[in-house]
Amino acid sequence: MTPVQPAPTTRHAIRAEGLRKRYGSGKTDKPALSGFDLAVPTGTVYGLLGPNGAGKTTAVRILATLLRADGGRAEVGGHDVATQPRQVRRQIGFAGQDAAVDEILSGQQNLEMFGRLFHLGPRAARRRARELLEQFRLTEAADKVVSGYSGGMRRRLDLAASLVLAPRVLFLDEPTTGLDPRARNEVWDAVRQLAADGTTVLLTTQYLDEADQLSDRIAVLSAPPGEGGRTIADDTPEGLKNLVGGDRVEVVVGGTEHLAAAREVVARVSGVTPESDAATLRISAPVTDRVEALTDVARTLRDRAVDVVDLAVRRPTLDDVFLRLTGGTAAPVPSPAAEPAATGNTAPEGAAA
């Protein structure tokens, strides 16, 4: 396997300060970014989350030199994306929302083609293609045309194409959209392996569990009414979850007649007034000692003959964090109008920005 290029000397592989971008003009003028900040430590997987129109794809396109910012500055691998785009492109790979591979070619032919586009000689391109096919577990499908690949195989091939030059930094814009659970897991495994090999990965995703599974740190973007996206939180997944509280004991009872008794039990154990939802028959409250609380609640509910459908102590999820930070906005979804879809792999050296 060709090793990742030597790690940059800077502590952060990606930095952005006050990035601004607007689309359109006059009455159709629409802010996409309004003071976006980001600092991605070298060698990490960093997630970008945000609601519809928060500017995730716009930010990635600017950092990958595919779009010019209207203001602010950004560096990738120690090079300015606006004044040193060629130096930036030498260090990055990019996989957009849609796979850029050619369906009438085989996997081997696709990767050799990308190698030649990146100015590798025929022999070097062939060798690199074989290395990548092995790395992404596609060797057996190397000579099959891509139109016969599954969704997960096609996405892994697209990731392989973005790594022809073994980049220091890889931009992944919603890499698993539309994939089934097995294909998603295949892509997750590939991303984890890239990070283990030393590649810095910046990931945008509309799946909160994906960000939780893969990211060392996560930045949450939000777009206030009439403004573009900006960073409103930046922490580890666990740190973000701690923003909305710790463990909660949750009880779901078998009927409305059991709600009052369950509320009394949970209130006594937790020491606070529990939240209660009559529609879902759910009672919950924060607790400090998860094991003792769960044991005490379970024993008391049994002694009082309360019909329990579900009982657990749960940690907050990124869904809870997202809803709290963004004011209850629905989970992230793609927004072609506000954030033009980025497709394909990064341009070869010398191509226009």
Range of the domain at 255: 248-314
Q: Let me know whether 123 and 253 are in one domain.
A: no
| Residue 2 included in any domain | no
Residues 245-269: tens digit of each pLDDT:
778 899 999 999 999 999 999 999 9
| Residue 339 included in any domain | no
Q: Let me know whether 237 and 272 are in one domain.
A: no
| Residue 337 included in any domain | no
Q: Let me know whether 149 and 48 are in one domain.
A: yes
Counts of helices then strands in the chain (DSSP H, E): 11, 14
Cα torsion through 36, 201, 188, 211, rounded to 10:
-30
| Residue 344 included in any domain | no
| Residue 336 included in any domain | no
Q: Let me know whether 94 and 226 are in one domain.
A: yes
What percentage of the chain exceeds 90 in pLDDT?
47
Does the pLDDT of residue 350 top 60, yes or no? no
CATH of the domain at 85: 3.40.50.300
Domain-terminating residue out of 193, 219, 242: 242
Could you tell me the maximum CA-CA distance found in the chain, to the nearest angstrom?
77
| Residue 190 included in any domain | yes
Provide the domain count of the chain.
2
| Residue 224 included in any domain | yes
Can you tell me the distance from the alpha carbon of 88 to that of 83, in angstroms, rounded to the nearest whole number? 10
Residues 143-167: tens digit of each pLDDT:
999 999 988 888 889 888 888 888 8
Does the pLDDT of residue 5 top 70, yes or no? no
CATH of the domain at 282: 3.30.70
Q: Let me know whether 197 and 100 are in one domain.
A: yes
Q: Let me know whether 210 and 253 are in one domain.
A: no
- The band of 10, judged by pLDDT with boundaries at 50, 70 and 90, is low
Q: Let me know whether 186 and 272 are in one domain.
A: no
Residue 109 corresponds to which tokens in the numbers above?
């032919």
Beta-carbon neighbour count of residue 289 at 10 Å? 12
The closest of 182, 224, 184 to 326, measured between CA atoms, is 224
In order, the DSSP letters of 85-122 are HHHHHTTEEEE-SB----TTSBHHHHHHHHHHHTT--H
| Residue 338 included in any domain | no
